[in-house]
Structure 1
Amino acid sequence: MVFNSNSLKLLSRVSFHKLHSHTAFPRNSNHNAVDDVAAAICDSFRRRRSWDAVSRKFGSLELNDSLVEQVLLELKDPNDAKTALSFFHWSAKTHRFNHGVRSYSIAIHVLVRAGLITDARALLESLAAKNRDPGAVRAVTDSLIDAVGFVSGSHRPVLDLLVQTYAKMRLTEAAFDVCCNVEARGFRVSLASFNSVLHVLQRSDRVSLVWDVYEHMIRGRNYPNAVTLKIMIDALCKEGLLQRNVDALDRIMGERKRSSHSPSAIVNSSLILRMVEKGHLVEEEGKRERVAVMVVTLLKRLLQQNLVPDSVGYSLIVHAKVRLGSLDSALEMYEEMVMSGFEPNSFVYTSFTGGFCKEGRIDEAMELMRGMEGRGLKPYGETFDHVIIGCAAGSGRLEECLGVFEAMLGAGFIPSCLSFDKMVEKLCENRDVEQANANLTRLLDKGFLPGETTYSLLIKGYAAKGEVQEVLKLYYEMEYKSMCPGLSVFTSVIQCLCRCGKLEDAEKYLKTMKSRLLTPDVAIYETMIASHEQKGNNARVLQLCNEMASLEL
Structure 2
Amino acid sequence: MSRFTGSLAVQRLIFHQTTLRFHKSLYSNSSPISQQPISPNSVPSSLTVDKILLNLKLGKSTHFHNYRTLTPFDIAQILYQCRENLHLGLKFIDSFLFNCPNFRHSTLSLCVMVHMLVRGRRASDAQALILRMVRKSGVSRVEIVDSLMGSYDQCGSNSGVFDLLVRTFVQAKRLREAAEVFKLLISRGVLVSINACNSLLGGLVKVGWVDLAWEIYRENVKYGAQLNVYTLNIMINALCKDGKMGNVNSYLLEMEAKGVFPDNVTYNTLINAYCRDGNVEKAIEMMNSMSSKGLRAGVITYNSILKGLCTMGGYSRARQMLSNMRQTGLCPDTNSYNALLIECSKKDNVVDGEQLFDEMIHHGVVPDVISYTSLISLFSKKGQLDQALIYFKEMKDKGLAPDSVLYTILIGGFCKSGVMSEALRMRSEMLESGCLMDVVTYNTILNGLCKEDMLGEADQLFDEMLQRGISPDFYTYTTLIHGYCKARDMDKAVVLFETMIQRNLKPDIVTYNILMDGFCKQGFMEKANEKWADMVHRGIYPNHISYSIFINGFCSVGRLNMAFKLWDEMVKKGIEPTIVTCNTIIKGYCISGDVAEAEKFLAKMTAKSILPDNFTYNTLIQGYIKEEMMDRAFVLFNQMEYQGILPDVISYNVILDGFCRQSRMEEANLIYKKMIERDVNPDRSTYTMLINGYVSQDNLKEAFRVHDEMLRRGFVPDDKF
Structure 2 length as normaliser, TM-score?
0.45
Q: Contact between 2:198 and 2:231, CA under 8 Å: does it hold in 1? A: no
Match of 1:149 in 2: none
Matched, 1:301 2:222: no
CA distance in 2, matches of 1:349, 1:491: 38
Confirm or deny that 1:69 pairs with 2:31. Answer: no
Distance change (3 Å), C-alpha of 1:333 and 1:433: same
Match of 1:405 among 300, 311, 322: 322
| Distance in structure 2 (CA, Å) of the matches to 1:474 and 1:299 | 60
Residues in 2 aligned to 1:167 and 1:494: alpha-carbon distance in whole angstroms = 54
C-alpha distance in 1 between matches for 2:390 and 2:432 = 21
Structure 1 residue 494, shift from structure 2 partner: 1.9
Q: Name 2:345's counterpart in structure 1.
A: 428
Tell me, yes or no, if structure 1 residue 142 matches structure 2 residue 108. yes
Tell me by how many angstroms 1:361 deviates.
2.0
Q: Distance in 1 between matches of 2:55 and 2:267?
A: 69
Residues 360-416 of structure 1: per-residue CA shift (max 9 Å, x gap): 22222222233345677532212212212222332x333333332332233233445
- 1:205-248 per-position Cα deviation (integer Å, ceiling 9, x unaligned): xxx89xx9xx9999965769xxxxxxxxxxxxxxxxxxxxxxxx
In 1, the alpha carbon distance for the partners of 2:286 and 2:131 equals 45
Listed one character per residue, the Cα deviations across residues 21-62 of structure 1 (whole Å, up to 9, x for unaligned) are: 6776669xxxxxxxxxxxxxxxxxxxxxxxxxxxxxxxxxxx
| Greater CA drift, 115-124 or 446-455 | 115-124
Aligned to 2:28: none
- The CA distance in 1 between the partners of 2:359 and 2:223, in whole Å, is 42
Q: Contact 2:119–2:157 (CA<8 Å) still a contact in 1?
A: no
Which amino acid is the alignment partner of residue 112 of structure 1?
C
Q: Is the 8 A contact 1:85 1:107 kept in 2?
A: no
Mapped contact 2:210–2:238 kept (Cα < 8 A): no
Cα 1:438–1:91, aligned 2, differ >3 Å: closer, same or farther? Answer: closer
CA offsets, 1:253-272, max 9 Å, x none? xxxxxxxxxxxxxxx6xx89
Q: CA 1:362/1:190 → structure 2, altered by over 3 Å: closer, same or farther? A: farther
Percentage identity across aligned positions? 15
**Is this contact kept in 2: 1:452–1:485, CA < 8 A?**
yes
Structure with higher RCO (Cα < 8 A, 6+ apart): 1
Question: Secondary structure of 2:225's match?
Answer: helix
Kindly provide the CA deviation profile for residues 148-185 of structure 1, in whole angstroms up to 9, marking residues without a partner as x: xxxxxxxx7x7633657995995741156679976533
The verdict on how the C-alpha distance between 1:498 and 1:80 changes in structure 2, with shifts beyond 3 A counting, is closer
1:282 aligns with 2:282: no
In the alignment, the residues of structure 2 paired with residue 193 and residue 159 of structure 1 have an alpha-carbon distance, to the nearest angstrom, of 12
Give the 5 Å matches for 1:126-525: 126=96, 130=100, 136-137=104-105, 139=106, 141-143=107-109, 160-161=115-116, 167=122, 170=125, 172-174=127-129, 183-185=145-147, 186-187=149-150, 188=152, 278-287=203-212, 289-290=214-215, 293=218, 297=221, 301-302=225-226, 312=229, 316=233, 319=236, 322-323=239-240, 326-335=244-253, 348-372=266-290, 377-394=295-312, 396-415=313-332, 417-418=334-335, 420-520=337-437, 521-525=441-445
Residues of 2 paired with 1:372 and 1:166: CA distance? 40
Give the one of 117, 122, 127 matched to 2:92: 122
Distance 2:51 2:424 in 1: 87
The code of the aligned residue for 1:69 comes to V
Distance 1:120 1:501 in 2: 72
Separation in 2, partners of 1:280, 1:26: 48
Count of residues paired in the alignment: 405
CA contact (8 A) 1:125 1:165 kept: no
Cα–Cα, structure 1 residues 318 and 330, in superposed 2: closer, same or farther, change >3 Å?
Answer: farther
Secondary structure at the counterpart of residue 509 of structure 1: helix
Q: Is the 8 A contact 1:315 1:347 kept in 2?
A: no
Q: How far 1:479 sits from its partner (Å)?
A: 0.6
Contact 1:389 1:422 in 2 (8 A): yes
Amino acid at match of 2:271: T
Following superposition, the deviation at residue 112 of structure 1 comes to: 3.3
Q: Indicate conservation of the 8 Å contact 1:279/1:291, yes or no.
A: no
Contact 1:455 1:474 (8 Å CA) reproduced:
yes
Q: Deviations over 1:264-308 (max 9, x none)?
A: xxxx6xx898777645532344345456657x75996346xxxx7
- Give, as a single letter, the amino acid of the residue that structure 2 aligns with 1:301: A
Partner AA of 2:207 in structure 1: V
Q: Distance in 1 between matches of 2:348 and 2:62?
A: 85
Q: Could you report, residue by residue, the CA deviation over 1:416-466 in whole angstroms, capped at 9, with x for unpaired residues?
A: 555543433322222214313321321233333333233223222221211
Amino acid corresponding to residue 184 of structure 1 in structure 2: D
Amino acid in structure 2 at the alignment position of 1:526 = L
Return the offset for 1:331.
Answer: 0.3
With over 3 angstroms needed to count, the CA separation of the structure-2 counterparts of 1:440 and 1:297, relative to structure 1, is farther
SS at match of 2:302: helix
Is the Cα–Cα contact under 8 Å of residues 104 and 127 in structure 1 kept in the other structure?
Answer: no
Deviation at 1:551, TM superposition (A): 3.3
Distance 1:550 1:115 in 2: 66
Residue identity opposite 1:328 in structure 2: G
- The amino acid that maps onto 1:406 is S
Question: Per the alignment, do residues 482 and 298 of structure 1 end up closer, same or farther by CA in structure 2, a change over 3 Å counting?
Answer: farther
In structure 1, how many angstroms separate the alpha carbons of the residues matched to 2:420 and 2:144?
70
Using a 3 Å threshold, how does the CA distance of structure 1 residues 115 and 402 change in structure 2: closer, same or farther?
A: closer
Deviation at 1:548, TM superposition (A): 3.9
The answer to whether the 8 A contact 1:425-1:457 is kept is yes
1:105 is aligned to 2:75: yes
The whole-number CA distance in structure 1 between the counterparts of 2:450 and 2:422 is 15
Partners of 2:223 and 2:372 in 1: CA distance: 42
Q: Alpha carbons of 1:463 and 1:123: their partners in 2 closer, same or farther (altered >3 Å)? A: closer
Bigger Rg over Cα: 2
Q: Structure 1 CA distance, aligned partners of 2:212 and 2:372?
A: 37
| Gap runs ≥5 in structure 2 | 1-31, 135-140, 473-721
Does structure 2 conserve the Cα–Cα contact (< 8 Å) formed by 1:391 and 1:398? yes
Alpha-carbon distance change, 476 to 121 in structure 1, aligned in 2, over 3 angstroms: same
Return 274-283 or 483-492, whichever deviates more: 274-283
> What are the residue-to-residue correspondences of 1:24-43 with 2, within 5 Å?
none
Give the direction of change, closer, same or farther, for the CA distance of 1:292–1:456 in structure 2 (3 Å limit): farther
Is this contact kept in 2: 1:424–1:458, CA < 8 A? yes
Partner of 1:533: 453
Q: Which moved more, 1:367-376 or 1:357-366?
A: 367-376
CA RMSD of aligned residues (A): 5.3
Q: Residue type matched to 2:225 in 1? A: R
Q: Distance in 2 between matches of 1:299 and 1:468?
A: 65
